[in-house]
Amino acid sequence: MNFTLEQTSATSVETQCLVIGIHDASSLQGTAKLVDQLSGGELLRLIGTGDVDTDWKSTTMLHGLEGVSATRILVMGCGDTDKFDPVRYDRVCTSAGAFLRDHTASNALVCLHELECGMDTEWNLRQAAIALDKANYRYTTTRKPREGGHEPLVSVSFNAAENFAPALLEAEGFAKAFQRSRELGNLPPNICNPAYLAEQAVEIAKSYDNVSADILEKAEMSELGMRALLAVSQGSENEPKLIILKYQGADQDQRPVVLVGKGITFDSGGISLKPGPNMEQMKFDMGGAASVMGAFEACAHLQLPINVICIVAAAENMPDGKAYRPGDVITSMSGKTIEILNTDAEGRLVLCDALTYSRKFNPVAVIDVATLTGACVIALGHHASAVMSKHDDLAEELVEAGTRILDRGWRLPLWDDYMPQLKSEFADMKNVGGMPAGSVTAGCFLSRFTEDMRWAHIDCAGSVWKWGEKGGSTGRPAGLLTQFLIDQK
C-alpha cells in the first residue's frame, strides 16, 4: 500500500472514499464538521435519525453527499470521547481498513488522525497508516482470491502537511516488517522450510547495499559443536540452517544489537509427538524467526544508524528413526550438557546454540524471540508477548516499545528461585522444568547460555498467530522489535 500526504482541503479532493471519525453529534471536529457544513447539515441529520452509527468501531458508508468531492464517505464511529485512548483509536483505524478492503475503493483520503486520543499527530498518522496496511493484507500465495472479493486498497492519502512525511516513512518500515513476518508465518511448512527461510534472507540481503547474509550448513554447525540445534533437526529430511543477516548502519566498531529467532518451520513434537488436533498450527513455530527477519528488514528500509545482526535457528522437529529421544544427553556449543526429557521442548535447544554463537558479535544487547511455550498462551492469552530479562532497563525498553506501537509485551520474572526446576541427575540441566511457570523456566534455561550478556527473551507463543477460523499470522512481535530498533539511535 502506498501512503501520501495531501494538502488540498479534504472535502475538495477527488477520492474514491473520504474516511472521517465521529464521537457524537455534539462533538464534530475538523473534516467531519466541514462535511456537515458543506452538505447543509446532512451528517448531523443522519446521526439524529440513527442512520449514521457513532458507536465505537461502527462503520457507515455515505454516497453522493452534496458539497463534497469524494465519491463516498466512510464514517467511523468512535464512541465515548472520554474512553477514546490510543488502543481505541488503533482499533478504529483497523476497522476502517478491514471495511475498505472488503468494499469498492482502491484509494482513500483518510482524516482519522484528526481525532484526539492523547497522542501527537505524528503518532496518529503513523499508527493509522500501519493499521490500514495490516487490515488490507490477505493471504493469497497458495490459494485463489476470495469469490466476489473487492480490489484491495492501493493508495491512501492523509490530509496533513509535508513535514509529516517522516512519520509515513516510518509507517512504511513497520508495514514492511509486518508483511514479511506474516507472509513467512502463513506459508505452509512444505514450502517454508529451513532452506526457504535461508533463501528469503539472501533475498533481503540482495535488496540493500549494507546488508549481507551468511548461511551456516549442517557441516559447519557440526564443526562449531552446535549439537543441541542439530539434535532437534536430526529426525527431519530437511536440513537445518543457521541464518545470519548483517546490517551495517553505523561505524564498523559500533557494537550491534543481535536479534535471535526461533525458526522451527514445523514442530510435530518429535518422538514426544504432539496430539493430532491443531497440529497444523505448529507451522507458526517459526514466528519468532519471521518477526526478527521482518524487523531487520524494516531497519534496513529505514536505514537506521545502528548495526544489527539477525540470527535465525531454522530447523524442523520430526519423529524418525534418526530422531533424538527422551533420555538423550546432548552437549551444547557452550559445553554445557542437557538431558532431554521431552523432545517437544525443542525451541530452547536450537536457541541455546544460536545464543552461544551470538557472543562472537560482542552485542550491546541480544534479544531472542520465540514461540517457546504453550504456558505463555495460558499466562497472557493472545494480547501480549512475554518479555523476560534480568536487565530491568532492557525489559522496560522492550515493554515501552511494544506499548508505543501497540504490539504489546508484558514482563514475567526470571528470578533464580525458578532455577532448581531445571536440575538433572545426568546432565548440567534438563530441557523441561515441569508444570509450574513453564514460560519462566524456559527463559531460565536460556539464561544459562547468556551469562554476562545484556539479554532479553520474548515468548510470542500467544501473539504470533490468531487461533480459529479467521486465524493466521499477525506478524507480531515485529512491530515491538522495529520500534525498539528505532529507539536505539
- Binding stretches for ligand BES (CB under 6 A): 267, 285, 342, 344-347, 371-375, 377, 432, 438, 461
CA atoms 190, 195, 198, 199: torsion sign:
negative
First and final C-alpha spacing in the chain? 27
Cα dihedral 185, 203, 455, 405, rounded to 10, equals: -60
As measured in angstroms, the least distance from the Cβ of 203 to ligand BES is: 26
As measured in angstroms, the least distance from the Cβ of 338 to Zn ion is: 16
90 or 285, CB closer to Zn ion?
A: 285
239 or 346, CB closer to Mn ion?
A: 346
As measured in angstroms, the least distance from the Cβ of 173 to Mn ion is: 32
**Which 323-382 positions form the footprint of Zn ion (CB under 5 A)?**
347
Residue number closest to ligand BES, CB atom: 374
Closest CA to 168 of 122, 132, 133: 122
User: How many whole angstroms separate alpha carbon 372 and alpha carbon 260?
Assistant: 13
373 binds, among Mn ion, ligand BES, Zn ion, none (CB under 5 to 8 A by kind): ligand BES
348 or 404, CB closer to Zn ion?
A: 348
The answer to whether 182 is a known catalytic residue is no
User: How many whole angstroms separate alpha carbon 282 and alpha carbon 299?
Assistant: 28
113 or 348, CB closer to ligand BES?
A: 348
Catalytic position from the list 57, 91, 255, 274: 274
Residue with cell 531487520: 296
109 binds, among Mn ion, Zn ion, ligand BES, none (CB under 5 to 8 A by kind): none
User: How many whole angstroms separate alpha carbon 338 and alpha carbon 347?
Assistant: 13
Taking every pair of C-alpha atoms in the chain, what is the biggest distance, in angstroms? Answer: 82
249 or 347, CB closer to Mn ion?
A: 347
215 binds, among Zn ion, Mn ion, ligand BES, none (CB under 5 to 8 A by kind): none
201 or 437, CB closer to Mn ion?
A: 437
The pattern of x and - marking residues 264 through 283 that bind Zn ion according to CB under 5 A reads x--x----------------
User: How many whole angstroms separate alpha carbon 335 and alpha carbon 81?
Assistant: 59
342 binds, among Zn ion, ligand BES, Mn ion, none (CB under 5 to 8 A by kind): ligand BES
374 binds, among Mn ion, Zn ion, ligand BES, none (CB under 5 to 8 A by kind): ligand BES
Catalytic position from the list 182, 218, 348, 430: 348
As measured in angstroms, the least distance from the Cβ of 259 to ligand BES is: 19
Interface pick for Zn ion out of 36, 133, 239, 285 (rule CB under 5 A) = 285
Return the HEC string of 112-145. Answer: HHHCCCCCCHHHHHHHHHHHHHHHHCCCCCCCCC
Q: DSSP states of 397-459 as a string?
A: HHHHHHHHHT--EEE----GGGGGGG--SSSSEES---STTHHHHHHHHHHTT-TTS-EEEEE
For position 316 contacting Zn ion by CB under 5 A, the verdict is no
As measured in angstroms, the least distance from the Cβ of 181 to ligand BES is: 16
89 or 445, CB closer to ligand BES?
A: 445
Q: Write out the residues near Mn ion by the rule CB under 5 A.
A: 267, 344, 346
Q: Please give the angle made by the CA atoms of 249, 213 and 304, to the nearest 5 degrees.
A: 20
The answer to whether 176 is a known catalytic residue is no
As measured in angstroms, the least distance from the Cβ of 461 to Mn ion is: 10
Helix (H, G, I), strand (E, B) or coil at 251: coil
For position 133 contacting Zn ion by CB under 5 A, the verdict is no
Q: DSSP states of 323-388 as a string?
A: ---TT-EEE-TTS-EEE-S-TT--HHHHHHHHHHHHGGG--SEEEEEE---HHHHHHHTTT-EEEE
Q: Which stretch of DSSP H or E encloses residue 100?
A: helix 86-101
Cis peptide before 477 (omega within 30 of 0): yes
As measured in angstroms, the least distance from the Cβ of 126 to Zn ion is: 33
* CB-side neighbour CA atoms (13 Å) of 248: 9
Residues that bind Zn ion (CB under 5 A): 264, 267, 285, 347
Q: Which residues are known catalytic residues? A: 274, 348
